[in-house]
Structure 1
Amino acid sequence: MIICKTKGIMKILVNIVVSFFSLSFFTFIMAHIMPGDPLYAMFGESAEKISSVQKTRIIENMGLNKPLLYQYKDWLVNFFHGNLGISFKYNLPVKDVLMKALGNTLFLGIITIITIMIFSLLLGFLCALNEGSILDKILVKLGTFFYCVPGFWLALVLVLIFSVKAGWLPSSGIYEMGNEGDLMDRVRHTILPWLVVFLGHLGYYSNFVRDKVIEELKEDYLVTAKAKGVPKHRILFNHLLRNVMASYITLIAISVNHLLSGSLVIESIFSYPGVGKYIFEAAKYHDYTLLMGW
């Protein structure tokens, strides 16, 4: 028994190691063979004014003149020493950029997950308890519509309505210049990216709750409880909600990664300084060290 468990653990560890080296090597090679010049990440348009001699010297200092396998070996050595390098574009340690971006993404992601959980439960139960009604049909169709609409299109529509036309909400960034510590200003900048991810996923989870509640309502134990005259609120909270929540929490736990990754594209559209925006910029400006840090 112990031997079998040891073999299972060893197999998992081997898979993790193989996956890490394969993925990191593939990403490293692809990042370097993409057309473009990393000097643009460091100097912007001023890179065109740099002489060829200066370019050669800078590239040598950065170690980009070495064969790719040697560069990958250097990156691995630095990685295992906890050194992810310096970002070409931001001229900051990659770890600092990562932590800042991850914090912003988690701020948006946690708010999105909590609100989706609350509202999908409410809408799911509302639709299930009014199955077949006009309200049920409208909410189901709206949920399906927003789930099928591309996030980037919905983002542009919301920016047009709330930022361009009404002027109520900012269309980019995470706070106004000089308002870094203003929580309300940060919330205002988060509303539009949150709303896009929220609307895009709400229908899926509320429909899941709706279908699960309808399925549970047909179970024998609920039919028996109704026949015995058990109060409706006791049936709802003591039996139905408890059984639905078990499946629902499992689904949310499995989908956390999906919900967070769904916000990455939205971040780049709204210039929200999270993981998605920095990944996009790292690829765009050939910031190899920052791209590898993700």
Structure 2
Amino acid sequence: MAVRRLLLAVPVLVLTSVVVFGLAAASPFDPLVGYLGDRYLTAGAAEQQQLRDTLGLDDPWYEQYLRWAGSLLSGDLGTSRSYGQPVADVLAERLPWTVLLAGTALVLAVATALMLGVWTAWRQGGVADRVVTAVAHALEGVPPFVVALAAIGIFALGLSWLPVAGLTDAGAAVSVGQVSRHLILPAGVLAVSQLPWLLLHVRQSLIAAFGEDHVVGARARGLPARTVVLRHALPTALLPFVTLVGTRLPELVTGAILVESVFSWPGVAAAVVRSAMQVDFPLLAALTLLAAVVVLLGSLLADVVYTVLDPRVAADG
């Protein structure tokens, strides 16, 4: 299954990269503006044309794509025009911070969903269940950037408990303490944006599991409630939950970009916006393919884990 899925990923990635180049070519932004910056207004028409010829900006997009694809096959991601450095260096500088943010948020969301999902399912119909599910349903329709602005208003500006944005305080060196303190708000916001779907799914799956024969039998034998929930009902509910986590990865990637923009987190969000506005083909294609790879691998990993947890599921199904 894994080999087949990986082979199918190749044409998907190729098609994704082709679409990116095609859409970028249709962009109204002039890539030379980003390349020259303030000098664009003072550069003469002859100088601008010379740069266009040198950079190949007037070449058809498919020719630019073929050059980029050839370099990619040789291990070269190309050079970012907007940053003036190799794409690999741009990713090396920014990607670890995005992984830290998204990874922390995913762990928080999963852990919170499991705890609250189990609690509300076991206390179905109680006050806590009604409050938690109502809040979760309300949060489903709230965009991450709205949650981010609300969090900044409450915890940063109102209570002054946490910093507003950035990786460290102004002038402070990068340290575990500084980064951890600045990570709390963006990671918390991103976790909250993913939490409703995970929590409600765990709750519903557990409620359904409580009606299955082996759980009913465990209750009838007088086993403690903790044992019934954690050892009999929860393993059954976790199987579809694993798949859901994999399908939420696209939303996690999108949410991370929005949250990074609001909190000025030094991840790939700024690079995505800058490469799109300045039609930076190599960087934009690399970032898009990276996001596609994350989604494909996440989906594959979820299916593999599902198969391992439940041997009854055929791997070739």
Structure 1 counterpart of 2:52, which letter? Answer: I
Q: Which residue of 1 aligns with 2:51?
A: 58
User: How much has 1:142 moved relative to structure 2?
Assistant: 0.7
Partner SS for 1:49: coil
User: Structure 1 residues 234, 17: CA separation in 2 closer, same or farther (over 3 Å shift)?
Assistant: closer
Change in CA separation of 1:216 and 1:26 when aligned onto 2, cut-off 3 Å: closer
- Please show how residues 29-178 of structure 1 align to structure 2 within 5 Å: 29-178=22-171
The alpha carbon displacement at 1:135 in A equals: 1.3
Q: Distance in 2 between matches of 1:256 and 1:23?
A: 17
Over alpha carbons, which structure has the higher Rg?
1
Following superposition, the deviation at residue 183 of structure 1 comes to 1.6
Q: Structure 2 vs 1, CA of residues 91 and 180 (structure 1 numbering), >3 Å: closer, same or farther?
A: farther
Is residue 2:194 matched to residue 1:201? yes
Mean CA deviation greater in 106-115 or 78-87: 78-87
Q: Report deviation, 1:291.
A: 0.9
One-letter identity of the residue aligned with 1:22: L
Shift of residue 55 of structure 1?
1.7
Say whether the 8 Å CA contact 2:190–2:255 is kept in structure 1.
Answer: yes
Deviation at 1:257, TM superposition (A): 4.0
C-alpha deviations, 1:128-155, integer Å up to 9, x for none?
1211111110110011111211222222
**In the TM superposition, what is the alpha-carbon distance from 1:122 to its structure 2 partner?**
0.9
Q: How many equivalent residue pairs?
A: 286
The letter of the residue matching 2:214 is: Y
Between the aligned residues of both structures, percent identity stands at 28
Specify whether residues 79 and 134 from structure 1 end up closer, same or farther in structure 2 by C-alpha distance, changes over 3 A only.
same
2:296 corresponds to = none
Unaligned runs of 5+ in 2: 288-317
Kept in 1: contact 2:102–2:190 (CA 8 A): no
Q: Residues 194 and 69 (structure 1 numbering): CA distance in 2 closer, same or farther, change over 3 Å? A: same
Check whether the contact 1:175–1:189 (CA below 8 A) recurs between aligned residues.
Answer: yes
> Following the alignment from structure 1 to structure 2, what is the Cα–Cα distance between the partners of residues 12 and 223?
41
| 8 Å Cα contact 1:268-1:280 kept in structure 2 | no
Partner in structure 2 of residue 235 of structure 1:
228
- Please give the TM-score of this superposition, normalised by the length of structure 2: 0.81
Name the residue aligned to 2:299.
Answer: none
* 2:79 and 2:87 in contact (8 A); partners too: yes
Q: Counterparts of 1:280 and 1:270 in 2: how far apart (Å)?
A: 15
Relative to structure 1, the CA distance from residue 62 to residue 147 in structure 2 (aligned partners, 3 Å threshold; closer, same or farther) is same
Letter in 2 for 1:182: S
CA distance in 2, matches of 1:191, 1:280: 24
Preserved CA contact (<8 Å) 2:94 2:266: yes
Q: Structure 2 CA distance, aligned partners of 1:140 and 1:115?
A: 18
Report the CA distance shift for 1:163/1:230 in structure 2 as closer, same or farther (over 3 A): closer
The more displaced of 250-259 and 90-99 is: 250-259
CA distance in 2, matches of 1:258, 1:35: 27
The partner residue of 2:268 within 272, 275, 279 is: 275
The structure-2 alpha-carbon separation of the partners of 1:236 and 1:177, relative to structure 1 and needing over 3 Å to count, comes to same
* Residues 69/96 of structure 1: CA separation in 2 closer, same or farther (3 Å cut): same
Asked if 1 retains the 8 angstrom alpha-carbon contact of 2:80 and 2:280, the reply is yes
Is the 1:121–1:206 Cα contact (8 Å) retained in structure 2?
yes
In 2: Cα distance, 1:238 partner to 1:34 partner: 55
2:315 is matched with none
